[in-house]
Amino acid sequence: MRTPALTRPVAVLGALSLAAVTLTACGGASAASDEKTVTVYSADGLKGENGDGWYDKVFKDFEKETGIKVRYVEGGSGEMVQRTVRENSNTQADVLVTLPPFIQQADAKGLLAAYEPEGADRVDAADKAPDGKWTSVVNNYFGFIYNKKRLADPPRTWEELLDPAYKEKIQYSTPGVAGDGTAVLIKAIHDFGGQEPAMEYLKRLQTNNVGPSASTGKLAPKVDKGELLVANGDVQMNYAQSKDMPNLAIWFPAKGDRKPTSFALPYAAGLLAKAPRSENGKKLLDFLLSEQAQRDVSAVGGGFAARKDIKATDANATELNGLLEGVEIFEPDWADIGTNLDTYIDAWKTATGS
């Protein structure tokens, strides 16, 4: 079996999910043809459990400034792309926000239009498409969560998760459907040194795994309640959830005695090629990268600003940077993943019987 060239050289970072839920971010959504609306299809994680997330504030501020109301639909990263594909002959959304490699997948399917939002010049080249088809709006990192009330210490390694004590107490979201679920494969292939050993490990993990979940965001409440002890997630979403879920804690699995690893998993936004309200979509993309919205990424959303000129100093930013101390950050080869994603998903299905 081919061992993919899945990652590029690593570096150590120092101090520093369609059960789609349709929501009206600013109340009173009008018909799709209403010129004063904009529709966003997004991966879950940026909207607060209690209306207090980054999207909640940014959408409210956007409506106040422009008079344009945001219609919001969320689900797994893969689900949002699949829905957009199904609607391609009658496109409903204007803006798509999803995680890699699904934003690249959307681009490859011809779903995105070239548009470079204001402020995109301050986003690192690695975090945006060179042709302007998509730009990261919130930076983020892949991670896992555990119940810190039930577990005095988190499991440190992948191998520890095979312990019988975790039987039916582990769950990760579905690769190919959820962005964070796909990230489980990416990290496992990296950490275990190739597709074959990673799939062998995930096959063994099935003994303790509860089963598939289309949405990563739905796993955190289960961990907080103790129904699960360990689940996958991402730093931004889980950090924001932990404000209302006191038993959540974030950790990064290591392979054996090596350092724990993670990789950047940004929320990337693009204008849909057949957007019915293209100009409104452009205005929203500009707003998402505005200075105030980017400062709110950490202070409100618990994430990392996409603009490199925003140096957040709020309490959340300090704590978030601390979470990543000593974690080895690798850069996935997204071109390889985009090309071979179906192969990796098929291999996972075969290995796990999913």
The mean pLDDT value for 59-80 works out to 96
Measured CA angle at 233 (ends 142, 312), to 5 deg: 55
The mean pLDDT value for 328-342 works out to 90
Give yes or no for a contact between 181 and 232, defined as CB atoms under 8 angstroms apart: yes
Q: What is the pLDDT of residue 194?
A: 96
Give yes or no for a contact between 138 and 127, defined as CB atoms under 8 angstroms apart: no
Q: What is the pLDDT of residue 26?
A: 39
Residue 331 has pLDDT above 60, yes or no: yes
Alpha carbons 1 and 89: distance in angstroms, whole number: 39
Q: What would the pLDDT profile of 102-142 be if each residue is shown by its tens digit?
A: 999 999 999 999 999 999 999 999 899 999 999 999 999 99
Alpha carbons 244 and 240: distance in angstroms, whole number: 8
Residue 19 has pLDDT above 70, yes or no: no
The mean pLDDT value for 218-236 works out to 97
Give yes or no for a contact between 76 and 214, defined as CB atoms under 8 angstroms apart: yes
Residue 154 has pLDDT above 90, yes or no: no
The mean pLDDT value for 74-94 works out to 95
Q: What is the pLDDT of residue 23?
A: 41
Q: What is the pLDDT of residue 353?
A: 95
The mean pLDDT value for 261-273 works out to 97
Q: What is the pLDDT of residue 25?
A: 40
The DSSP secondary structure of 35-93, one letter per residue, reads TTEEEEEEESSSS-TTS-SHHHHHHHHHHHHH-PEEEEEEE-HHHHHHHHHHTGGG---
Averaged pLDDT score across all residues of the chain: 90
The mean pLDDT value for 144-155 works out to 93
Alpha carbons 296 and 145: distance in angstroms, whole number: 24
Give yes or no for a contact between 211 and 21, defined as CB atoms under 8 angstroms apart: no
Alpha carbons 310 and 303: distance in angstroms, whole number: 12
Q: How confident is the model at residue 6 (pLDDT cuts 50, 70, 90)?
A: low
Q: What is the pLDDT of residue 152?
A: 84
The mean pLDDT value for 192-199 works out to 97
